[in-house]
């Protein structure tokens, strides 16, 4: 796969226009994915670009409220089956009619650690336990499309503290993504100066593959990820890996799953994370 380019932007714009009428007529997926047993140690995280609950990238106000609510409620049913401990959302903002993050939290019995507010493109967090600290910021480098990050200090199931971050990077410019990665590293540093350094999980829609700016983000923060290459964006016959879960060296990914399509134009990722045992 190659990094996103202007030609891809044109493909997406054209495809969205062609697909909108058809997609809005498609009923909610009849079959929910199989559920997972809850973890007893570590942390289960999930990252999902919800595309505002509109199913395709169009202004949220163009889509009937009942359709959006049905999509969000279906997403909540998927999330509930996964027994997620920390949920990283992107594009969970939109028009003021619906607080998508809060609706998902209410539908899953989880807590909204942050809501869209001023965070670009709805990079929000929902957690099973109340977070110990939260840092949210919008990237100054944005091109035409604002993006941002939310970091929450949470506890693993055995009570160990770690930081989880929901991130959304720019879709159409590698230069803007690189600038946002620098800002992200600075935001993480500010968070750590305020609350102390902990293990780190960064998850979200990074809008690039492993050979592009995703590799630069991993290097900037000292993170690693799964070798899984299953694409997370398969609209219009495409097969792009845009969504990622990355962890610091003191953590390991013990399971990594890309779920099937439905509800959003991005596939969600569910990952189980554990602290590495001291050697």
d(CA 277, CA 142): 40
- Look over the chain and give the mean of its residue pLDDT values, rounded to a whole number: 84
This prediction's pTM: 0.86
- Which whole number is the average pLDDT over 72-95? 89
Query: What is residue 98's predicted lDDT score, i.e. its pLDDT?
Result: 78
Dihedral sign for Cα atoms in the order 198, 201, 205, 208: positive
Q: Please state, for a pLDDT cut of 90, what percent of the chain lies above it.
A: 57
Containing 17, the helix (H) or strand (E) segment is: helix 6-25
Please check the confidence at residue 7 and state whether its pLDDT lies above 90. Answer: no
Query: What is residue 115's predicted lDDT score, i.e. its pLDDT?
Result: 62
Secondary-structure class of domain 6-24+42-275 per CATH: alpha beta
Instruction: Give residue 61's pLDDT band: very low, low, confident or very high (50, 70, 90).
Output: low
d(CA 1, CA 84): 29
Contact between 58 and 272 (Cβ < 8 Å): no
Please check the confidence at residue 74 and state whether its pLDDT lies above 50. Answer: yes
Domain map (residue ranges) of the chain: 6-24+42-275
Please check the confidence at residue 15 and state whether its pLDDT lies above 70. Answer: no
Find, among 201, 219, 187, 192, the residue nearest to 47 by Cα: 201
Query: What is residue 40's predicted lDDT score, i.e. its pLDDT?
Result: 95
Residue 193 burial (CB count, 10 A): 9
Please check the confidence at residue 144 and state whether its pLDDT lies above 90. Answer: no
| Residues present in the chain in total | 279
């Amino acid at each position: 796969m190659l990094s996103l380019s202007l030609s891809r932007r044109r493909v997406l714009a054209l495809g969205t226009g062609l697909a909108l009428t058809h997609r809005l007529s498609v009923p909610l997926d009849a079959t929910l994915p199989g559920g997972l047993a809850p973890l007893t140690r570590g942390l289960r995280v999930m990252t999902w670009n919800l595309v505002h609950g509109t199913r395709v990238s169009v202004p949220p106000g163009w889509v009937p409220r009942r359709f959006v609510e049905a999509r969000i409620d279906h997403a909540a049913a998927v999330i509930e089956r996964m027994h997620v401990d920390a949920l990283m959302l992107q594009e969970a903002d939109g028009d003021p009619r619906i607080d998508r993050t809060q609706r998902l939290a209410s539908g899953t019995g989880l807590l909204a650690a942050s809501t869209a507010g001023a965070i670009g493109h709805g990079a929000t967090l929902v957690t099973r336990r109340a977070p110990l600290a939260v840092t949210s910021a919008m990237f100054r480098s944005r091109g035409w499309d604002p993006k941002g990050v939310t970091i929450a200090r949470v506890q693993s199931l055995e009570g160990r503290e770690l930081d989880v971050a929901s991130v959304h990077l720019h879709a159409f410019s590698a230069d803007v993504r690189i600038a946002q990665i620098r800002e992200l590293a600075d935001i993480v540093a500010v968070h750590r100066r305020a609350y102390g350094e902990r293990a780190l999980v960064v998850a979200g829609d990074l809008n690039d593959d492993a050979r592009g700016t995703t590799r630069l983000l991993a290097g900037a923060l000292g993170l690693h990820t799964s070798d899984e290459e299953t694409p997370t964006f398969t609209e219009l016959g495409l097969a792009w890996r845009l969504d990622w879960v990355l962890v610091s060296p003191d953590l390991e990914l013990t399971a990594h799953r890309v779920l099937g399509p439905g509800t959003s134009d991005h596939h969600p990722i569910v990952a189980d994370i554990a602290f590495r045992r001291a050697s």
